[in-house]
Amino acid sequence: MSSLDASTALGHGHAPPREGVNYLNADNSVAGWLGTLDHKRICILYLVGVGIMFLIGGLFAVLFRTELLTPGKTIMDANTYNKFFTLHGAIMVFIVIIPGIPAALGNFVLPLMLGTKDVAFPRLNLASWYMWLFGTLLMLSSLVFGGVDTGWTFYTPYSTKVQGGAMAGVVPTLFGAFMLGFSSIFTGLNFIVTIHKLRHPNMSWFTMPLFLWSIYATAVIQVLATPVIGITVVLAAIERLLGIGIFDPALGGDPVLFQHFFWFYSHPAVYIMILPAMGVMSELIAVHSHKHIFGYRFIGFSSVAIALLGFLVWGHHMFTSGQSTLLSVIFSGITFSIAIPSAVKMFNWIATLYGGSISLNAPMCYALSFMWIFGIGGLTGLFLSTLATDIHLHDTYFVVAHFHYVMAGTIFVLFGATHHWWPKITGRMYNENVARVACALLFIGFNTVFLPQFVMGSLGMPRRYYNYKEEYQIYHVISSIGSYIMSAGVLTLIYCLSTSLMRGAKAPRNPWGAATLEWQTASPPVVENFETTPTAGDPYDFDALRYDEKTGDYVYVGNPTGPKH
């Protein structure tokens, strides 16, 4: 047992917390929110921002899915359709999923899990949020300038050459991506330093919750890969504005070079999006089955393996680009190697469920949905890393379905994580039944949208098509209906969380019986995070908790037989 105070680790003391005052009600002035250095409030800023942008990005998707109900024009013209799928992609990738788990929830959870008072650089943390905000506004401003229809991949020479019409917004969008990139880099840097320097004195690397391992691996990718996309979008903007030949062959440039630069970031970015979700999965599965995580070290090291291998596979996006066949073969081989650590994680989570005491509450429902969704997303990746089959499937709806199954895995976990930490963040419980209905609607809707897309993709339907052959219509119609079911799920989710805010029951400190440190403080936490020093032990030792029926709370009593590690 440690007698060290978490704030001692920071090198300064603090005043004792005041009764009834928590981080939410401490200072409700505008400056108190928009100028806050408190990582918990910055989480709220991100959650609200990311939530609004998720709804906007989703709205674009529902609109263009409606357009695709019939071949030819249904509700919008080709240019509008092209702008909508471009913005849907750019918003969901750069603005929603990349910051979704690490910057939004990670901001709240990471310092609390470490038992510390804040992140290492609170001002940088706030600056990251403002960069996110300005990047988002820049990207949305492209709509005012006439929009962008390059697709979120900005492939050259289309993005640097074609003028007028739907293309006037390219430059603000590129600078928006640049800003968002630096927001991501600063968050990653902040988290790396925080994990190294501000861990609870009793917390070693191997008694750190697995969420933190995955956030650490993510942060390494953010810091090393994101500068490349920053430079690339600036080069594209320079070519477009000044006519200096970098990517346009008419000016002496090389269009395929852009693809190499772009995917050198954007493939690792896939792991920026999925690794934090895998980290949350380890927490959700263990906590809601009250079972020690299975294969801690294998899960932790597999995060690092995925992060490192993720840098070496970018060429698998370019098998048909005309790159050398030798290069394609090497990229295919390395791509397969990533399947292994991903499979290891899945099997370890299943083994964790074995013999557990599984509560089928909303966070667990979302976690089980992830097993299904990421299972399909991961396995269909095998078709795309196999060279012979990829040539046929490349740039078809099969790819669209594949990466939505991977990315939406992250969205499902983001929702699961929001429910899991909701009592801690807001101090209120939500209605389990409504939350489970929302999860079920989202799950059914999602599969209705994307399962038919695998079939139409393998039948040859290319992606980004406004018009299509009639033989594909049946799949498009089913897919569009799914998007309406998903919309109902999102509305139910909003209803569930907003009623919780208005009249949810007061949350105890530890409603789930979790053993990580954030559950040892009040719900919501005090401004200083902890009233007294938290006790750090094995983060998955659920024998150290006793259920108190009167308060509905799990109380930390320590493990009489000692920690399992």
Contacts of 117 (CB under 8 A, 6+ apart): 6, 7, 10, 14, 111, 528, 529, 530
Total residues binding another protein (CB under 8 A): 95
Span near another protein by CB under 8 A; candidates 48-56, 366-374, 496-504, 529-537: 366-374
Distance separating alpha carbons of residues 435 and 416, to the nearest angstrom:
10
Distance separating alpha carbons of residues 435 and 177, to the nearest angstrom:
34
Residues between 109 and 148 with contacts to another protein, criterion CB under 8 A: none
385 binds another protein (CB under 8 A): yes
368 binds another protein (CB under 8 A): yes
Helical H segments across 427-511, by residue range: 432-458, 473-503
Shortest gap between Cβ of 565 and another protein (angstroms)? 9
Q: Which is nearer to another protein, 155 or 182 (CB)?
A: 155
Cβ-in-10-Å burial (0-12, 13-18, 19+) of 12 comes to exposed
552 binds another protein (CB under 8 A): no
* Type and span of the H or E element at 555: strand 553-556
554 binds another protein (CB under 8 A): no
Among the listed residues 5, 70, 223, 464, the single contact to another protein using CB under 8 A: 464
* Residue that is written with structure tokens 């009764």 in the block: 19
Distance separating alpha carbons of residues 303 and 225, to the nearest angstrom:
16
* DSSP codes, 253-266: --HHHHHHHHHHHH
Distance separating alpha carbons of residues 235 and 239, to the nearest angstrom:
6
At 32, is the secondary structure helix, strand, or coil? helix
Among the listed residues 3, 28, 354, 470, the single contact to another protein using CB under 8 A: 354
Distance separating alpha carbons of residues 69 and 37, to the nearest angstrom:
48
Contacts of 53 (CB under 8 A, 6+ apart): 91, 95, 96, 136
Peptide bond into 71 cis (omega under 30): no
Residues between 149 and 188 with contacts to another protein, criterion CB under 8 A: 149-151, 155, 157-158, 161-162, 165-166
Q: Which is nearer to another protein, 267 or 394 (CB)?
A: 394
Q: Which is nearer to another protein, 256 or 477 (CB)?
A: 256
At 27, is the secondary structure helix, strand, or coil? coil
Distance separating alpha carbons of residues 204 and 195, to the nearest angstrom:
10
Among the listed residues 8, 74, 202, 386, the single contact to another protein using CB under 8 A: 386
* DSSP codes, 79-119: HHHHHHHHHHHHIIIIIIIHHIIIIIIIHHHHHHHHT-SS-
Residues between 274 and 333 with contacts to another protein, criterion CB under 8 A: 289-298, 319-322, 325, 328-329, 332-333
Q: Which is nearer to another protein, 350 or 494 (CB)?
A: 350
382 binds another protein (CB under 8 A): yes
Q: Which is nearer to another protein, 122 or 333 (CB)?
A: 333
Q: Which is nearer to another protein, 289 or 533 (CB)?
A: 289
Q: Which is nearer to another protein, 131 or 237 (CB)?
A: 237
Among the listed residues 263, 430, 468, 530, the single contact to another protein using CB under 8 A: 468
Among the listed residues 69, 70, 146, 395, the single contact to another protein using CB under 8 A: 395
Residues between 41 and 100 with contacts to another protein, criterion CB under 8 A: 78-79, 82
Among the listed residues 33, 134, 383, 556, the single contact to another protein using CB under 8 A: 383
* φ, ψ for residue 554, nearest 5 deg: -95, 130
Q: Which is nearer to another protein, 185 or 399 (CB)?
A: 399
Residues between 240 and 259 with contacts to another protein, criterion CB under 8 A: 248-250, 252, 254-256
432 binds another protein (CB under 8 A): no
Among the listed residues 390, 421, 441, 483, the single contact to another protein using CB under 8 A: 390
Residues between 517 and 546 with contacts to another protein, criterion CB under 8 A: 540, 542
Distance separating alpha carbons of residues 412 and 440, to the nearest angstrom:
11
Shortest gap between Cβ of 153 and another protein (angstroms)? 8
Shortest gap between Cβ of 308 and another protein (angstroms)? 16
Shortest gap between Cβ of 293 and another protein (angstroms)? 7
CA-closest candidate to residue 213, choices 308, 280, 115: 280
480 binds another protein (CB under 8 A): no
